[in-house]
């Protein structure tokens, strides 16, 4: 009969699945307590600020506990599932664990070494936010005290990190409340929003006593809590929507935006689109105006390479990119995302078509990976699909330019000296004026327009 010990239980922590993210929401659990799992099996789906990601477990065993319910936002580095590995392939340090409690941290460190192998195996120890533990953590914390000559009695002042969800921590920070002084009322000692507000109430009463005027400060709180649910709906800002809001604010108030416009006759481009649809080289591929617009922008960047750059504020340098990671803004059920096509400048037209098709289908399925949304240099946003003539797009953070494409409409146009119905659209190019001056921005936009008016320039200018 096998005796259950702490050494046989492994905790899987919420990993940083994309460039310094601090939290993720658990969307769905694929396992339940008592289920057997194997190394590499997907156990849950989480949504970060950038995408929905499936997390695989890095060892074999039986699920002992699911620490959080679906819909919960969890800090990176927090244990989300406990697995009993006593019946599976236990790690090398495990046999020594029952004899001494100290090796437990070594077990936790093993998944970190697996990070390059599979997504979801933990983050660096220095950035991990750990759940408070008994025993081993106190022993480790006491070591510095002994070295400083405070003696073995030093562990007494060691404080455990208060348990609270990210939104509650933010509320406490905004209100200036020290969570260590708050008495928790939630299950398992978790601090709730009500606990934070209760901690603020006494302080407010002390401040209000000598000065009657501040008594009006708490008034807004009942107004928020008592809104008319029949007339208003409040939607929590999180995930992709939260990330988009933060990115747009950062971009709008960091990069000085300039937007230029041009209206162009794209009749010949539309004819070429129809011809390419019949070409056997494009069989099975999606051919649409966006494909030729993307190619036109890539050619314009080749003719004006200085536009493909970024601003390094820390180094006070302009970084010229010798590659183009072409971003395509995509509206998804989770919000706006901007995945990009890596090294788009090297792709032939059929290859670019295939890449665009894969990008769009992956985005619609909600399976875009964080890596696909990193490292973009220039973006296209096609607002024309909504029947809009054009717009003034905001730059994707870290990029130098974004091209907005309006609706293509049949309009009266002077062609060869006569007014004729032609297919016309309006293009808008926003650029970072720290990097791109008016002349360079105008040349890029004019080149894109010239190619769409005479698509044979895709050959002569390429």
Could you tell me which of 37, 38, 17 has the C-alpha nearest to residue 27? 17
Pick the catalytic residue: 197, 257, 415, 433?
433
433 has catalytic annotation: yes
C-alpha to C-alpha distance for 155 and 8, rounded to whole angstroms: 27
Q: Which residues are catalytic?
A: 433
């Amino acid at each position: 009969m096998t005796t259950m010990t702490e050494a046989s239980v492994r905790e899987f922590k919420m990993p940083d699945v994309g460039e310094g993210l601090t939290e993720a929401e658990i969307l769905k659990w694929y396992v339940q307590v008592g289920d057997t799992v194997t190394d590499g099996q997907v156990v849950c789906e989480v949504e970060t600020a950038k995408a929905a990601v499936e997390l695989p477990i890095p060892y074999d065993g039986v699920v002992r506990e699911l620490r959080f319910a679906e819909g919960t936002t969890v800090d990176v580095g927090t244990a989300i599932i406990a697995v009993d590995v006593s019946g599976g392939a236990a790690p090398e340090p495990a046999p020594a664990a029952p004899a001494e409690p100290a090796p437990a941290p070594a077990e936790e460190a093993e998944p970190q070494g697996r990070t390059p192998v599979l997504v979801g195996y933990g983050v660096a120890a220095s950035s991990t936010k750990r759940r408070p533990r008994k025993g081993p953590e106190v022993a480790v914390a006491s070591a510095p005290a002994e070295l400083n000559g405070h003696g073995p009695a030093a562990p007494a002042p060691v404080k455990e990190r208060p348990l609270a969800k990210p939104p509650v921590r933010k509320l406490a920070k905004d209100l200036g409340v020290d969570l260590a002084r708050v008495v928790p009322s939630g299950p398992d000692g978790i601090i709730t929003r009500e606990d934070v507000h209760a901690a603020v109430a006494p302080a407010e009463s002390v401040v209000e006593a000598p000065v009657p005027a501040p008594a009006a400060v708490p008034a807004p709180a009942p107004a928020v809590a008592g809104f008319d649910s029949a007339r208003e709906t409040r939607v929590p800002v999180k995930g992709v929507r939260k990330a988009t809001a933060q990115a747009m604010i950062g971009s709008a108030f960091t990069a000085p935006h300039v937007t230029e416009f041009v209206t162009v006759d794209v009749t010949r481009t539309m004819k070429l689109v129809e011809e390419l649809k019949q070409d056997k080289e494009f069989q099975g591929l999606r051919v649409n105006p966006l494909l030729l617009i993307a190619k036109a922008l890539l050619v314009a960047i080749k003719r004006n390479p200085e536009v493909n750059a970024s601003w390094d504020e820390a180094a006070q340098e302009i970084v010229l990119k010798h590659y183009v990671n072409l971003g395509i803004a995509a509206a998804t059920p989770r919000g706006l995302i901007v995945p990009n096509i890596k090294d788009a400048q090297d792709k032939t037209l059929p290859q670019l078509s295939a890449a665009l098709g894969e990008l769009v289908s992956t985005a619609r399925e909600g399976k875009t990976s964080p890596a696909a949304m990193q490292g973009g240099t220039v973006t296209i946003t096609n607002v024309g699909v909504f029947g809009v003539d054009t717009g003034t797009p905001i730059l994707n953070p870290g990029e130098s330019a974004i091209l907005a494409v309006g609706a293509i409409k049949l309009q009266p146009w002077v062609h060869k000296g006569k007014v004729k119905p032609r297919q016309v659209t309006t293009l808008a190019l926003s650029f970072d004026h720290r990097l791109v001056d008016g002349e360079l921005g105008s040349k890029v936009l004019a080149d894109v327009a010239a190619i769409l008016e005479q698509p044979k320039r895709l050959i002569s200018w390429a």
